[in-house]
Copies of this chain bind each other. A is one copy, B any other.
């Protein structure tokens, strides 16, 4: 009798409680709930660097890398700008500029900085361009940037970076909380701005590297063209060619092509590629252009 009574009570109860752990049909299972690495750290206590699954507001589920330790942790990898062929002029793989060649008909390029097109995987971020839903979904305040040598495997990313830094001024907040919204407002397109626009420069805190190190990473002839200790978004050179990002520096002059990356789709006077004209001097630092260390490293972008 007792057993029977128990069963009458217990079985429906168990079913109900177990049932409640199921996700309704049509949704991704509930084990993935955090929208950012910051949430994984703060709300769920995950403190280990590595790969996690996240879920965007629109329920896009994706795997990415979380840096859970630098400066308090909670950094989400959202993008990697990787140059697959430094000699290719906006060919296949130049997703952060254009894959259509340098073309006056395609002056805004592929638009990856301001659209929701996705590519690549976290694990291959040193071998290919990478962009996940976090790029446009996460509401962030700051960014971190890592220059990680191509081919480097995930377990060595952190220690083997050529340069690592982050911002801590909440600069993203007024621009909508991420680079997607920033570039929606500040278009990347040939001819719509001039060198004097100067873009948005944000002071950086070095995690690996220094002002001196940044100078060494670019060519002698170009060092007078910038101040170190900043990251800058959306600038134009003296030919009105548009660039997305200048890592480690703030332009003073008009030679952005030698030290900025990404951008629009038309570069009639310099060179069209994800890494712009960084290779102008074939990686030698006694003239214009960037060092081999910069040219052969993918640029990782994190949000927090």
Query: What residues make up the interface of A, taking CB atoms closer than 8 Å to B?
Result: 2-3, 5-6, 9-11, 13-15, 17-34, 40, 44, 46, 50-54, 58-61, 63, 84-88, 91-93, 99-100, 103, 105-106, 110-111, 115-118, 120-121, 123-124, 127-128, 133, 151, 154
Contact = CB atoms under 8 A, between A and B. Distances in A.
Contacts of A110: 84
Contact of A13 (B10, B19, B33): B10
A120 B117 CA distance: 7
A121 B60 contact: yes
Contacts of A33: 25
A85 B101 CA distance: 11
B111 A116 contact: no
A17 B9 contact: no
* SS of A interface (majority): loop
A31 B24 contact: yes
A26 B40 contact: yes
A266 to B, nearest CB: 12
A120 B111 CA distance: 15
Nearest to A14: B17
B32 A53 contact: no
B29 A52 contact: no
A124 B118 contact: yes
B128 A106 contact: no
Given A10-B6, A59-B63, A100-B91, A21 B18 contact: yes
Contacts of A46: 25-26
Given A26-B34, A84-B100, 12 more contacts: A2-B5, A18-B18, A25-B31, A25-B33, A25-B44, A26-B31, A59-B63, A61-B63, A87-B103, A91-B99, A91-B100, A115-B124
Nearest to A118: B121
Closest 5 CB pairs of A and B: A23-B31, A87-B105, A115-B127, A26-B52, A116-B124
Given A63-B60, A115-B124, A154-B58, A31 B29 contact: yes
A21 B23 contact: no
B22 A58 contact: no
Contacts of A85: 100, 103, 105-106
